[in-house]
C-alpha cells in the first residue's frame, strides 16, 4: 500500500459568531465565509461607574470567550454595542415607552455608538479586540416624529432605538465614522483585519 506523504493544505478553522443578532449575522454573511451562530451566556449588566466604551469592549470579549471555551479549536467572534449619551449608556429599549424616552433624550444631541468586536481562538492562543466609535448627531425631533418612526420601524432590539440602515436615517443630521458597518452592529473593516490575523483568507 502506498501512502501519499506530500504536504496537504490545512483546512481553515471553523468560525462561530457568538451572537443571535440577525443584524450581525447578515453583516458577517457579506464576507462569504461559512460560519455558525451560537448564543453566549453572559450577564450584560453594566458594572458600577463603567463607561460605555469599556462596557462594550468588556462584553464583546466576554461573549467571545464564553463561546470559545466550549469550542477551543474554533475562531469565535463576539461583539457588543453601547450608545453613549454624554457618558451615560443607552441599551436596547425592548418596549415602546422606553424607546420614546430614549429618542426624546437623544433629540438634538450628539450620541456616540461604541461597537466593540473581539476574536478569540483558544487553540491559537489568540485574543484580540477593537472598538469602533461612530458619532451621530440627531435632529431635533417632535413627539409626532418619534411616534411615527417607532410605529413604522419598531427598533426595540436596537441600542439607541434607531436603525440607521432603515428609516432611522431620517432622524439624523450627520454620521461620522471610519468603519461604515459599525453603526449597524459589527465593524467589518476591523473584523476582517482580526480574522486575517487568525489565518482566514478574506477575500
Q: List CB contacts of 26: < 8 A, sequence separation 6 or more.
A: none
- Grid cell 457588543 — which residue? 80
Contacts of residues 153-159 at CB distance under 8 Å and 24 or more positions apart, as own/partner, are 155/93, 155/99, 156/92, 156/93, 156/94, 156/95, 156/96, 156/99, 157/92, 157/94, 158/23, 158/92, 159/81, 159/82, 159/83, 159/90, 159/91, 159/92, 159/113
Closest Cα partner for 187 from 137, 128, 106? 128
Helix (H, G, I), strand (E, B) or coil at 88: strand
Residues known to be catalytic: 80
Amino acid at each position: 500500500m502506498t501512502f501519499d506523504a506530500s504536504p496537504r493544505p490545512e483546512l481553515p478553522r471553523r468560525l462561530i459568531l457568538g451572537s443571535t443578532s440577525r443584524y450581525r449575522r447578515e453583516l458577517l454573511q457579506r464576507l462569504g465565509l461559512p460560519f455558525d451562530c451560537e448564543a453566549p451566556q453572559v450577564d450584560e449588566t453594566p458594572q458600577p461607574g463603567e463607561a460605555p466604551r469599556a462596557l462594550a469592549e468588556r462584553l464583546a470579549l466576554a461573549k467571545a470567550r464564553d463561546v470559545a471555551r466550549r469550542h477551543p479549536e474554533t475562531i469565535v467572534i463576539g461583539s457588543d454595542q453601547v450608545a453613549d449619551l454624554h457618558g451615560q449608556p443607552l441599551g436596547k429599549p425592548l418596549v415602546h415607552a422606553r424607546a420614546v424616552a430614549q429618542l426624546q433624550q437623544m433629540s438634538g444631541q450628539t450620541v456616540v455608538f461604541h461597537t466593540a468586536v473581539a476574536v478569540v481562538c483558544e487553540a491559537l492562543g489568540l485574543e484580540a479586540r477593537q472598538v469602533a466609535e461612530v458619532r451621530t448627531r440627531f435632529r431635533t425631533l417632535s413627539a409626532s416624529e418619534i411616534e411615527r418612526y417607532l410605529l413604522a420601524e419598531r427598533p426595540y432590539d436596537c441600542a439607541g432605538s434607531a436603525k440607521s440602515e432603515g428609516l432611522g436615517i431620517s432622524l439624523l443630521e450627520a454620521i461620522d465614522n471610519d468603519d461604515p458597518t459599525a453603526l449597524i452592529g459589527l465593524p467589518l473593516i476591523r473584523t476582517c483585519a482580526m480574522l486575517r490575523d487568525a489565518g482566514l483568507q478574506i477575500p
